[in-house]
Structure 1
Amino acid sequence: MIAWLDNADTPFPPPEQALVQPDGLLAAGGGLSPQRLLSAYRQGIFPWYNPGEPVLWWSPNPRCTIRPSDLHISRRLRKQILNEDYTVTFDRAFIDVIKACAAPRPQQSGTWISTEIMAAYTQLHHRGIAHSVEVWRDSRLIGGLYGLGIGSLFFGESMFSRADNASKIAFSYLCVQLQQWQFQLIDCQVYNSHLESLGAGLMPRNEFLGLLARHLDDPEPETWQFSVDARQVAGKTV
């Protein structure tokens, strides 16, 4: 059985109480207020559910993560980065990015990013907590990602591409910029081969929670702007 969160004030159970199958399912209900979401992320918990369902909260074990310095850039991706036929920005089009992430994808009938999710994370963006990375070509948005920055940790939520490797370019720029800012970790939540190709791996939940406890209150960047260039990203030199 999982815990039911009656209202916004009901606390989460400890992440260690999450189910083994399905991996990490911890609780349901409670809504998506900014306070609820921040409480969740600070405890290593995130929402993931289908539209029309109660909010479901997860803390899987192991956790998919990447340290910014562990970014892997393939030869092909490095060539695309150095080509510089694009521009990368922070927070220029958050709403457009989350809408693009919510759009149906090939071989998928729907999306878990509902209007409720979009509204909740947009509130966090207006508070300076949720951030987007945009990749532009000829003033057209071709890729990007969004997530939360808390302390020296980044909690990735979703990414999209409308051009070859555009989401990987966004992720690569993010990793190298976060490394420059001395961020400790990017939480990728759940494993997939796309993230693995960029250097992500699995971390035991107790190790992940220990990193959160040590780094959630680290100083944060004053402004989210890129200061790294294509050569730094391609060479991962900061």
Structure 2
Amino acid sequence: MSQLRPELLLQAYAIGVFPMAESRNDSRTFFVDPDKRGILPLDTFHVSRSLRKEVRRRRFEIRCDTDFKAVLEGCSEPRLERPDTWINDEIFRLYLALHEMGYGHSIECWRDGKMVGGLYGVALGAAFFGESMFSREPNASKVALVHLVARLKGSGFTLLDSQFITDHLQQFGAVEVPRERYRDILAAALKSPAEFYSGADDWPLVEALLHSSSQTS
């Protein structure tokens, strides 16, 4: 069986579809094009008062793109609330390749020298396709998401694709849009210039996001 190429993934994202697998141990990978697409509107991203306090405590050391492979491993490990995952060996390989090509990015939460949470996704034009997140400590993935959004807003991104809507994402203002509307938003984002900010210090961007969120709470 021939392996998928990372370039094919980029083409798939550009037309609005994304890869999945039924389970970690299923070698088959397929592409998904849902009728309704989940997105996190960047201009109305909601950070609760309690989460703002958590972010400002700065309990975690936030790093970007320092150990993308470890984030993939964290997102693919079984947990009590999710005993299985859609990240099979093929998907693992493909996203690692996208990272090496400069398209895949990770936001990582570290504490006492250990990674305790994070997320990863793919940047293409002014669109960021959020793939998965994980926490080994309370609120780690939420804090990582806040830092991601701050970087996206500061870098000129216009679309944060969450693929589907979950209760976890709804608290941040995630919404569903019909497929055709999503494709219009995506097309506009792909035409817009943006460069993902992967610098070590994003705190000024985070402070600006928290301030704007507090004005709309």
- Retained in 1: the 8 A contact 2:156–2:195? no
Question: What does residue range 80-229 of structure 1 map to in structure 2 within 5 Å?
Answer: 80-221=54-195, 224-225=198-199, 226-229=201-204
Q: Which amino acid aligns with 1:227?
A: D
> Is 1:46 aligned with 2:18?
yes
**RMSD after superposition:** 1.9
Residue identity over aligned pairs, in percent, reads 35
- Retained in 2: the 8 A contact 1:147–1:154? yes
Which has the larger displacement, 175-184 or 46-55? 46-55
Shift of 1:213: 1.5
Deviations 1:184-229 (A, max 9, x none): 1100001111011111111111111012222214323275225334
Q: Normalized per residue, which structure has more helix?
A: 2
The answer for the alignment partner of 1:56 in structure 2 is: 30
- Matches of 1:85 and 1:183, distance apart in 2: 27
Q: Which amino acid aligns with 1:235?
A: H
Deviations 1:64-105 (A, max 9, x none): 001222211111111111111222121011000010000001
- Matches of 1:215 and 1:107, distance apart in 2: 34
- Retained in 2: the 8 A contact 1:152–1:215? yes
Q: Which amino acid aligns with 1:42?
A: A
* Structure 1 runs of 4+ with >6 Å offset: none
Shift of 1:53: 5.0
> Is 1:76 aligned with 2:44?
no
Deviations 1:113-137 (A, max 9, x none): 1122111100000000011010112
- Matches of 1:200 and 1:223, distance apart in 2: 22
Q: Which amino acid aligns with 1:40?
A: A
Question: CA 1:97–1:236 in 2, change beyond 3 Å: closer, same or farther?
Answer: farther
- Matches of 1:216 and 1:132, distance apart in 2: 20
TM, length-normalised to structure 1: 0.82
- Matches of 1:141 and 1:90, distance apart in 2: 12
- Retained in 2: the 8 A contact 1:177–1:228? no
> Is 1:33 aligned with 2:8?
no
- Matches of 1:148 and 1:45, distance apart in 2: 13
Q: Count residues with an aligned counterpart.
A: 209
Higher relative contact order (CA 8 A, sep 6+): 2
- Retained in 2: the 8 A contact 1:135–1:142? yes
Shift of 1:107: 3.9
The answer for the alignment partner of 1:11 in structure 2 is: none
- Retained in 2: the 8 A contact 1:176–1:236? no
TM, length-normalised to structure 2: 0.89
Unaligned segments of structure 2, at least 5 residues: none
Q: Which amino acid aligns with 2:19?
A: P
